[in-house]
Structure 1
Amino acid sequence: MSKLLCPSMMCADFSSLEAEVAALDQAHVDIYHIDIMDGKFVPNFGMGLQDFEYIRKSTNKKVDVHLMVENPANHIDLFAEKGADIIYFHPEADIHPARTIDRIREKGVKPGIAINPGTSVAWFAPLLSIVDYVLVMTVNPGFAGQKYLEFVNDKITELDALKTSAGHDFTIVVDGAISPEKMAQLSKFGVEGFVLGTSALFGKSRSYKEMIKKLRSL
């Protein structure tokens, strides 16, 4: 199983963002992960539209958007038209999540749902047949540098088992305190995509190219 390595750009060095993107491109990352927060759905403000636009124009790699916002349907058209390849939203924040998924797909973008640690698989299971990605939050969303929540492992294994038994075709991605050790463990649970922050990629002494090569070998 090949890994999707997705640098979390809220952890990048914004004093030299152009150099950061160039180095990550040269390291052959797969998808740039952009967190958009409104200070309401989560108690923090994340990256902005201009950050997304800058990264989008600086790379030919895929770019995803993780909408940690209330009423995410209001923002689908904007980010789709700005060039997002994948849009994640939280069904917990959406009155009509199936309609929002349909809208994302209508815009030519891959739809994904992002799931909080406390949300059960049973709650969002009806949506699994119509999404391409499921982003499982392994920390409470909104802040970098948190501790991995071990109880989420049961949700991941349940999700993988349901994917197999029901014949669904979504990709499981994890986000939050993803260390190299967690990557090795979660790969065995059916996880294919990893959002990489300070636990595995940013703020280290080695080059991104060297670290990405090592992470792919796990």
Structure 2
Amino acid sequence: MVEIIPAILTDSSVKFKDLALRIEPYASRVHIDIADGVFVPNKTINGYDELRGFESALKFDVHLMVQRPQDVIREWFSTHADRFFIHAESDVNLNVIIEDIHKNERKVGLVLNPETEVDKIKEFIGKIDYIQFMTVHPGFQGGEFVEGVINIISDFRKAYPDIVIIADGGITPETAPKLKMAGVSIVVVGSYIIKSDNFGEAIEKLRSSL
């Protein structure tokens, strides 16, 4: 069964809390997209300020679309976010930040943009909990689905049958089944859910397609 995780990308603290509360009846976990305006052109809330003191039964993934994740990761350790996703393309010592996240009893995944070679992260496979493939170019919700990533995921799944594979971006009832066939374990869904009139119905349509 492929897990569906709704994503929030916003520059408004008020909107973040509103969306999280609207998602809560239909999901157990939310994926927070954090952008610094440098690594990607968009800029969002910093996220950790919003999450501190935010009372919710939700669990939180944090996708750091930032140039220097090592500069903010300690702030996140003071929140209850328990899974972190670091871009392989960011300006960071991946070994150090992976170890730091694990030492703080959280889980970590590496993220690959559509154009990034899988070879960039192969040496870290045994050290990470997840691999996340971007199926859009990151930074904004509602980007065009990059079909070519499906074959990359399929080949990766054959090479690494046991790792949890996540696909993020452009997920709809049309694209989700293709990703399931390729071997994806989790889909992260932003605009299809957030732009819908009824979050519950949108999630159910996705679930039915899988």
TM-score, reference length from structure 1: 0.86
Bigger helix fraction:
1
RMSD: 2.2
CA distances 1:4-38 after superposition (whole Å, capped 9, x unpaired): 211111169976654533331111x1421111111
> 1:155-198 CA distances to partner (integer Å, 9 max, x unpaired)?
1112211212xxxx431111111111111111111111111122
Between the aligned partners of 1:41 and 1:211, the Cα distance in structure 2 is: 30
Structure 1 residues 12, 172: CA separation in 2 closer, same or farther (over 3 Å shift)? Answer: farther
Matched, 1:115 2:137: no
SS at match of 2:200: helix
Alpha-carbon distance, 1:138 to partner: 1.0
Counterpart pick for 2:184 among 176, 191, 197: 191
> Is 2:196 aligned against 1:204?
yes
- The reply on whether 1:81 has 2:78 as its aligned counterpart is yes
Q: Which runs of 5+ in 1 are unaligned?
A: none
For 2:113 and 2:189, how far apart are their aligned partners in 1? Answer: 17
**1:61 Cα deviation after fit:** 2.0
1:124 counterpart residue number: 121
Residue 91 (str. 1) matches residue 88 (str. 2): yes
Q: Which runs of 5+ in 2 are unaligned?
A: none
TM-score, scaled to structure 2: 0.89
Check 1:144–1:178 CA distance in 2 against 1; reply closer, same or farther (3 A cut): same
Residues 49-64 of structure 1 mapped to structure 2, 5 A cutoff: 49=47, 52-53=50-51, 57-64=54-61
Residue 57 of structure 1 deviates from its aligned partner by 2.0
Percent same amino acid among aligned pairs?
31
The aligned residue for residue 26 of structure 1 is 25
Query: Is the CA contact 1:11–1:197 (under 8 Å) kept in the aligned structure 2?
Result: no
Aligned length: 209
